[in-house]
């Protein structure tokens, strides 16, 4: 029997020595922290913008830098797992994430917090793909379904709870504490990982591990300029600015070059052969769109509630919490029905609920009550569970165990890119359409408009009164 055959057999027969439910304790804790930090800063963005005297659109960089940095590190997971051993790399990722969280809390400028958030993304980007792979590998049969249900619960609920927790902490303490809270849990996660995690043969420390340097270089050349264009392009009037044209061209060339190196390279960062699996290919495409919609809506809705409707940070987060309630209800239904419905049926129901919730949210205006926000978010939460849970399982269920780390890394790369691009595009559209609507309102600002004249007179009287009070005080 050849050496390669022995390795394959060892991979197929590998089972953890420790109780698998103990193994996934640090895994679920790390996943929760990473997923929570995708949205925990959303409701604090107006406070962060005020602290650093920047616009709301610039404060969105706090979200997009985190997501894009995560995207860059995700394809490196397979290499680092074999170079350091997956257990050691997992603990190192949690450590980087924890230190970066502390740096976010003490940041004294928008530049520093964006860099710290990018560092946080680098540390956290590796956690979710490894967690998904560990859950799939440590369990078999029905136990695997239960473990993946727990994993999906964390992945779905954590981003939904993020705005509520972020709002409560911001209003009762201060926004830096939404990052400081990760520090004790981060070190607890490291201790649990050191105690319980195990390395399978195909994810243990190995010698002569190859790094696809060109692939990593082209990945950075693709994603970094792309995110800069998406974040800053609107301020420069898009392709009317020469630097936007140049960066767009560089990103396009980098993206094409990256996929060429992955197809032709002998040991690429990402093994694109998983795209030959129809379940993985189409399931990943759907997850990209769902993640883009989820993160984009969670980024803009709290700002609308705070800036336009006068909600405080906690109340705006509380208004979004029904997504979590809808998710819990969907999980209860999912668990109760079991296998009575196919995963495809669950997916169709979920996508329908997402569309319905999005359509209702699209009709929001300033003359609404809390229930107008609660109902569509509740429907949205049901849709997220009924779509993401079956689609995630179906996309990976036909892959081999030794493909899990690579496949989950590739899937999370594309999902995270989708979330970053969706968030940037929504912020750009808000800024762009605000200018359009403001330009349309200008024609009504004249003295013959009684509403405008009355409002102008009221503001003038108020300013005169305030100026008089200040003069008397001095």
Q: 54-63 pLDDT, tens per residue?
A: 877 778 888 8
Q: What is the pLDDT of residue 471?
A: 63
Cα–Cα distance measured from residue 97 to residue 31, given in angstroms and rounded to the nearest whole number: 12
Cα–Cα distance measured from residue 361 to residue 297, given in angstroms and rounded to the nearest whole number: 9
Decide: pTM greater than 0.85. Answer: no
Tens of pLDDT, residue by residue over 211-232, are: 888 888 998 899 888 888 887 7
Q: What is the pLDDT of residue 246?
A: 93
Residues of the chain with pLDDT > 70, as a percent, come to 94
Task: Say if residue 87 is in the same domain as residue 143.
Answer: yes
Task: Say if residue 111 is in the same domain as residue 253.
Answer: no
Task: Say if residue 136 is in the same domain as residue 284.
Answer: yes
Say which CATH number the domain at 403 has: 1.20.1250.20
Q: What is the pLDDT of residue 8?
A: 44
Task: Say if residue 105 is in the same domain as residue 233.
Answer: no
Task: Say if residue 76 is in the same domain as residue 220.
Answer: no
The verdict on residue 332 lying in a domain is no
**Among candidate residues 248, 266, 284, the one where a domain is terminated:** 266
**Which ranges in 308-403 belong to alpha helices (H)?**
313-320, 322-337, 343-361, 371-396
Task: Say if residue 429 is in the same domain as residue 292.
Answer: yes
The residue-averaged pLDDT of 356-369 equals 83
Q: Which domain holds residue 421?
A: 20-207+274-316+388-435
The verdict on residue 131 lying in a domain is yes
Task: Say if residue 221 is in the same domain as residue 202.
Answer: no
The verdict on residue 98 lying in a domain is yes
Tens of pLDDT, residue by residue over 81-116, are: 888 888 888 999 999 999 999 999 999 888 899 999
The verdict on residue 352 lying in a domain is no
Provide the mean pLDDT of the chain. Answer: 82
Q: What is the pLDDT of residue 106?
A: 92
Task: Say if residue 63 is in the same domain as residue 148.
Answer: yes
Task: Say if residue 172 is in the same domain as residue 235.
Answer: no
The verdict on residue 351 lying in a domain is no
Task: Say if residue 150 is in the same domain as residue 288.
Answer: yes
- Does the pLDDT value for residue 464 go beyond 80? no
Cβ contacts of 375 within 8 Å, gap of 6 or more: 322, 360
Q: How many domains does the chain have?
A: 2
Cα–Cα distance measured from residue 271 to residue 161, given in angstroms and rounded to the nearest whole number: 34
Contacts within 8 Å (CB) and 24+ apart, 339-346? 343/390, 343/391, 343/393, 343/394, 344/390, 344/394, 346/386, 346/387, 346/389, 346/390
The verdict on residue 414 lying in a domain is yes
The verdict on residue 381 lying in a domain is no
Mark 49-82 as b/e (b = at least 16 C-beta within 10 Å).
bebbebebbbbbbbbbbbbbbbbbbbbbbbbbbb
Q: What is the pLDDT of residue 474?
A: 60
Would you place residue 198 in the very low, low, confident or very high pLDDT band (cuts 50, 70, 90)?
Answer: confident
Cα–Cα distance measured from residue 264 to residue 232, given in angstroms and rounded to the nearest whole number: 34
Task: Say if residue 48 is in the same domain as residue 195.
Answer: yes
Element (H, E) at 109: none
Task: Say if residue 177 is in the same domain as residue 127.
Answer: yes
Would you place residue 339 in the very low, low, confident or very high pLDDT band (cuts 50, 70, 90)?
Answer: low
Q: What is the pLDDT of residue 170?
A: 87
- Does the pLDDT value for residue 15 go beyond 60? yes
Q: What is the pLDDT of residue 6?
A: 45
Would you place residue 186 in the very low, low, confident or very high pLDDT band (cuts 50, 70, 90)?
Answer: very high
The verdict on residue 88 lying in a domain is yes
- Does the pLDDT value for residue 14 go beyond 70? no
The top-scoring range by mean pLDDT among 142-146, 317-321, 352-356 is 352-356
């Amino acid at each position: 029997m050849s050496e390669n055959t022995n390795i394959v057999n060892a991979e197929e027969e590998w089972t953890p020595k420790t109780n698998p439910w103990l193994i996934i304790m640090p895994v679920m804790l790390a996943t929760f922290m990473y997923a929570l930090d995708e949205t925990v800063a959303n409701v604090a963005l107006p406070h962060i913008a005020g602290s650093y005297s920047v616009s709301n659109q610039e404060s969105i960089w706090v979200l997009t830098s985190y997501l894009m940095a995560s995207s860059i590190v995700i394809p490196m997971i397979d290499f680092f797992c074999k170079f350091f051993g997956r257990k050691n790399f997992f603990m190192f990722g949690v450590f980087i994430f924890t230190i970066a969280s502390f740096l976010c809390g003490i940041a004294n400028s928008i530049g520093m917090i964006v860099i710290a958030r990018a560092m946080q993304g680098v540390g956290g980007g590796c956690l979710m793909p490894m967690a998904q792979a560990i859950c799939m590998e440590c369990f078999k049969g029905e136990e695997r379904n239960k473990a993946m249900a727990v994993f999906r619960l964390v992945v779905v609920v954590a981003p939904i709870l993020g705005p509520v927790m972020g709002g409560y902490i911001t209003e009762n303490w201060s926004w830096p504490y939404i990052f400081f809270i990760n520090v004790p849990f981060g070190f607890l996660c490291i201790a649990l990982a050191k105690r319980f995690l195990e390395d399978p043969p195909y994810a243990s420390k190995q010698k002569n591990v190859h790094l696809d340097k060109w692939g990593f270089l082209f990945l950075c050349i693709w994603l970094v300029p792309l995110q800069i264009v998406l974040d800053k392009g609107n301020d420069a009037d898009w392709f009317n600015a020469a630097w936007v044209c140049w960066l767009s061209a560089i990103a396009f060339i980098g993206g094409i070059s990256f996929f060429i190196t992955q197809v032709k390279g002998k040991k690429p960062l990402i093994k694109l052969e998983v795209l030959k699996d129809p379940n993985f290919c189409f399931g990943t495409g759907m997850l990209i769109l769902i993640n883009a919609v989820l993160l984009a809506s969670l980024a803009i809705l709290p700002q609308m509630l705070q800036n336009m409707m006068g909600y405080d940070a906690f109340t705006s987060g509380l208004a979004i919490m029904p997504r979590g309630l809808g998710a819990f209800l969907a999980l209860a239904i999912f668990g109760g029905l079991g296998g009575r419905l196919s995963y495809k049926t669950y997916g169709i129901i979920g996508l329908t609920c997402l569309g319905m919730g999005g359509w209702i949210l699209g009709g929001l205006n300033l003359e609404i009550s809390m229930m107008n926000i609660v109902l569509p978010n509740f429907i949205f939460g049901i849709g997220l569970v009924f779509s993401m849970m079956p689609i995630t399982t179906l996309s990976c269920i036909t892959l081999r165990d030794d493909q899990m780390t690579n496949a989950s890394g590739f899937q999370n790369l594309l999902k995270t890119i989708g979330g970053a691009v969706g968030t940037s595009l929504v912020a750009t559209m808000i800024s762009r359409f605000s200018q359009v609507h403001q330009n349309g309102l200008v024609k009504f600002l004249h003295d013959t408009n009684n509403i405008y004249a009355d409002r102008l007179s009221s503001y003038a009287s108020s300013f005169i009164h305030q100026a008089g009070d200040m003069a008397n005080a001095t």
